[in-house]
Amino acid sequence: MIPIALTIAGSDPSGGAGLQADLKVFSALGAYGTSVVTALTAQSTRGVSAVHCPPPEFLESQLDELLADVRIDTVKIGMLGDARLVEAVADRLTRHRPRYVVLDPVMVAKSGDRLLAADSVAALRTRLLPLVDLVTPNLPEAAELLGEEEAGDEAAMHEQVRRLAELCPRVLLKGGHLAGADSVDLFLEEGSISRLSAPRVRTENTHGTGCALSSAIAALRPQRPEWHSAIADAKGYLAEALRHADTLRVGTGHGPPSHFHAWWPSRAEADRTDPVGSDVIPS
């Protein structure tokens, strides 16, 4: 049976992050995608200029209507914007418990623009983290959740991932912000830490990588026997999407990975067949 996945996330008009990216990843990895919108953003590959959050009652109506009709096997939660929306999602998760729930605690965009109000972090920590199966913070997000300084090395990551596990049963702490030839993530489950390392991919097109990884894990979890294999395969998918990212020419800032790299042309093929050439007119 094809799994049905739900993304609860903000909208990115450029298509590289948020629910647009999540739906692409779901499709690429064999899941049927559904979505509930938590925020509208005025956003491009260069940054976020405005955010509009709907009333929590409208978010609740979206979730109630969908969950009353559609079997949801797995959920990815992304941008929530403010404490009222965090509370609304937490309430619906309590009422309609999906089998798998992955939380990407989106707080700040890659451009540096804030996507979660600072005073809403406590609601995320106390209301939502205990309800989800896996949380996937990067190092700045982990520091905010813990109220600590950002980890500066792998030893500090080990300490923080254990403290995060006091808030959520499973943690994937992403170490992409550290320097080094390899990017190291730590996955903690039932007190045991697994180290997942991969060579860094040299590309500027990294917009929405956190969204892509968390939605890939959510899509794959119903198709894998346990969390570790779902995470490992999701990381492999994202690495290939980043390796093919430069075949896309989306915007003048940080473009997205190539979510459909398995079907779309390679870089060499794209260069040979590119109908528009390589000229980019900056705006």
Catalytic residues: 174, 206, 208-211
Hunting for tokens 């808030």 — which residue is that? 167
Query: How would you classify residue 10: left for phi > 0, otherwise alpha for psi between -120 and 50, otherwise beta?
Result: beta
d(Cα 47, Cα 42) in Å, to the nearest integer?
Answer: 9
The gap between the terminal CA atoms of the chain, to the nearest Å, is 46
| Residue ranges of E strands in 45-169 | 47-52, 74-77, 100-103, 134-135
Tell me the DSSP string of 40-81: EEEEETTEEEEEEPPPHHHHHHHHHHHHHHS---EEEE----
Backbone dihedral angles phi then psi of residue 224, each to the nearest 5 degrees: -125, 155
d(Cα 96, Cα 141) in Å, to the nearest integer?
Answer: 27
